[in-house]
Structure 1
Amino acid sequence: MRPEKNSETSFPDHPESASRARDEVREWLGTDHPAYENVRLAVSELVTDAVLHAGGEPGDGSLTLRLLALGDLLRIEVVDQGCPTASPESSLLSERGRGLVLVGLLSGGTWGCRSLERGRTVWCEIPAIPRDPFPGLEDFFDPPKSLGLPEVGGPAFPS
């Protein structure tokens, strides 16, 4: 299941634009698409990042959201008027920037930033059919019997 067409929408550089961008994802993909939640979260993080770091005060500029279907990938691009030489940073330890860590996880590390003459484009590519982000995790909670571990069970809350 792929979107019928690509989408490009401009928004003001304003915090409410993240909500409008999520609405755009819903119209583009539909809520029944297997990658809907992943794309919606990535779009929300990228647009919010653009609003916070585009330079100047919110509302001074605009940003553009591009949603592209590229074979088995869904590409998200957010173009803002921020400083072209500044690259977004992502770190679990910093007070900000965790959204880009999420984008990195959702995209399997396929994201980046491209400087423009005026501004920058931050992009990511999300699999149209999401892969398991934590393969083998179910084995952690339900190890095979061959490991010889004792059975665990019973009520969640003993009486």
Structure 2
Amino acid sequence: MKRSLPALAFLSFTLINPAVAEQEESYDYFVANRTMIRNGVQAVLMCNGLFTSGRTIEQVFAQELAYLSEPVGTVNGGEYVINNDLQAVAIGGAESGPVISAAFRVGIGCVVMPPDQTFDDIDARPTLHLPYPDGDPAKIAWPNGDLVEAKPLPANVDASAL
């Protein structure tokens, strides 16, 4: 009898556990994480589109936010705030989850801020002031300047497809 007890215990666990493992989850434990991530992604995309690239809100929704399955709001408004003076965007609210902000910082671009920070905390975010190169940027080779010398395309690249 003592020898069959471990085998019986093993069989009972292997027969019962698959049934438990097959149960479907009825509660989405990660929806809060996905919502916060979506709001942060939208905040940084809108911030970059508006304040780094100089696009309009219509262009941002049509291009930067086009791949989001459920962006917050529309071109006409929603649970987002755009502060042109601070060059910052905040996404979220009662219907769309925690408010996540992104702010443009000189020399860095747009940075996403933690959920517990607001527009009042923007000045605590870093900036990076780099000196301009000596001379005319149009005559200085990229990446230090703007000059990109024209070179012929490789034979395997179709210029008309570009």
TM-score normalised to the size of structure 2? 0.28
**In terms of Rg, which structure is larger?**
2
Higher relative contact order (CA 8 A, sep 6+): 1
Between Structure 1 and Structure 2, which shows a larger proportion of strand residues? 1
Q: Which structure's residues are more often helix, by fraction? A: 2
